[in-house]
Structure 1
Amino acid sequence: MVETPAGRLAGRRHDGVDHFLGVPYAAAPIGAFRLRSPRPTPNWTGILQADRIGPAAPQHLAGSQTWLNDPIINMDEDCLTLNVWAPVDARNAPVLVWFHGGATRNGHGGAAACDGFGLACEHGIVVVTVNYRLGPLGGLAHPDLVDPDTGFCANWGLQDKIAGLRWVQETIAAFGGDPHKVTIAGQSSGAANVVLIAQNPCNRGLFRTVIAQSPPLFQPPMFVGLHDAGEYTEAVATSLGTTVAGLRDLAGTDLVRREAALLRDADFARRFPRPRTAPTLDGALVHAWPHEGVLADVPLLIGFTRDEAKFWYDLALPDGVKLSALSPPGPGEPFEAALVRLIALHYPFDPAPSPAAILAGYRAAMPEAGSDAIWLAIYSDLVFRAPVWRYAARHARRGSPVFFYDFAWPLAVTGGTPHAACVPFVFGTHRHPHFAAKVGADDATDALSQAMMAAWAAFVRDGAPATHDWPDFNPELPAGSSQAMALGRDGMLFGPLHGAARLAWWPAIGIIDGVD
Structure 2
Amino acid sequence: MEIAVETPAGSLAGQRHDGVDRFLGIPYAAAPVGALRLRSPRPVPGWAGIRRVDHIGPAAPQHLAGSQTWLNEPIACMDEDCLTLNVWAPADACDAPVLVWFHGGATRNGHGGAAACDGFRLAREHGIVVVTVNYRLGPLGGLAHPELTDPETGTCANWGMQDKIASLRWLRDSIAGFGGDPRKMTIAGQSSGAANVVLIAQNPDCEGLFCGVIAQSPPLFQPPMFVGLDDAAEYTEAVAAALGTSVAGLRDLDGSDLVRREAALLRDVDFTRRFPRPRTAPTLDGRLVHAWPHDGVLADVPLLIGFTRDEARFWYDLALPDGTRLSALTPPEPGAPFEAALARLIALHYPFEPTPSPAATFAAYGFAMPDAGSAAIWLAIYSDLVFRAPILQYATRHARRGSPAFLYDFAWPLAVTGGTPHAACVPFVFGTHRHPHLAPKIGVDVDATVAAAMAAWATFIRHGTPATPTHDWPGLNPGLPLDAAEAMSIGRDGMLFGPLHGANRLASWPAMQQMGDAD
8 Å contact from structure 2 (residues 396, 516) kept in 1: no
Amino acid at match of 1:337: A
Q: Tell me the distance in 2 between the aligned counterparts of 1:210 and 1:38.
A: 23
Q: Tell me the distance in 2 between the aligned counterparts of 1:208 and 1:372.
A: 42
Aligned residue for 1:206, secondary structure, equals: coil
TM-score using structure 1 length: 0.99
TM-score using structure 2 length: 0.98
Aligned residue for 2:185, secondary structure, equals: strand
Aligned residue for 2:169, secondary structure, equals: helix
Amino acid at match of 1:259: E
8 Å contact from structure 2 (residues 409, 487) kept in 1: yes
Q: Tell me the distance in 2 between the aligned counterparts of 1:410 and 1:285.
A: 38
Aligned residue for 2:207, secondary structure, equals: helix
1:458 equivalent in alignment to 2:477: no
8 Å contact from structure 2 (residues 145, 229) kept in 1: yes
- Return the match for 1:186 from 180, 186, 189: 189
Amino acid at match of 1:76: D
Q: Equivalent residue for 2:315?
A: 312
Q: Equivalent residue for 1:400?
A: 403
Residues 477 and 388 of structure 1, relative CA distance in 2, 3 Å threshold: same
Amino acid at match of 1:375: W
- CA deviations 1:102-136 (Å, max 9, x no partner) are 00000000000000000000000100000000000
1:210 equivalent in alignment to 2:213: yes
- Return the match for 2:77 from 63, 68, 74: 74
Q: Tell me the distance in 2 between the aligned counterparts of 1:511 and 1:140.
A: 37
Give 1:511 shift: 2.4
1:224 equivalent in alignment to 2:224: no
Superposed, which structure 2 residues align to 1:236-255 within 5 Å?
236-255=239-258
Aligned residue for 1:191, secondary structure, equals: helix
1:27 equivalent in alignment to 2:30: yes
Q: Tell me the distance in 2 between the aligned counterparts of 1:357 and 1:440.
A: 38
8 Å contact from structure 1 (residues 481, 501) kept in 2: no
Aligned residue for 1:196, secondary structure, equals: helix
- CA deviations 1:454-501 (Å, max 9, x no partner) are 010000000001332211101112222211000000000000011011
Aligned residue for 1:73, secondary structure, equals: coil
Give 1:366 shift: 1.2
8 Å contact from structure 2 (residues 431, 451) kept in 1: yes
Superposed, which structure 2 residues align to 1:102-501 within 5 Å?
102-442=105-445, 445-467=446-468, 468-501=471-504
Amino acid at match of 1:265: D
8 Å contact from structure 2 (residues 217, 307) kept in 1: yes
- CA deviations 1:68-113 (Å, max 9, x no partner) are 0111000000000000000002000000000000000000000000
Q: Tell me the distance in 1 between the aligned counterparts of 2:212 and 2:13.
A: 30
1:84 equivalent in alignment to 2:87: yes
Give 1:514 shift: 5.1
Amino acid at match of 1:257: R
- CA deviations 1:338-372 (Å, max 9, x no partner) are 01111111000121012111101111111211111
What CA RMSD, in Å, does the superposition of the two structures yield over aligned residues?
0.8
Specify every segment of 5 or more residues in structure 2 that has no aligned partner in the other structure, as ranges: none
Residues 513 and 484 of structure 1, relative CA distance in 2, 3 Å threshold: closer
Q: Tell me the distance in 2 between the aligned counterparts of 1:156 and 1:259.
A: 17
- CA deviations 1:245-270 (Å, max 9, x no partner) are 00000000000000000000000000
Give 1:417 shift: 0.1
8 Å contact from structure 2 (residues 107, 281) kept in 1: yes
Q: Tell me the distance in 1 between the aligned counterparts of 2:12 and 2:444.
A: 36
- CA deviations 1:259-284 (Å, max 9, x no partner) are 00000000000000000002000000
Amino acid at match of 2:463: D
8 Å contact from structure 2 (residues 213, 301) kept in 1: yes
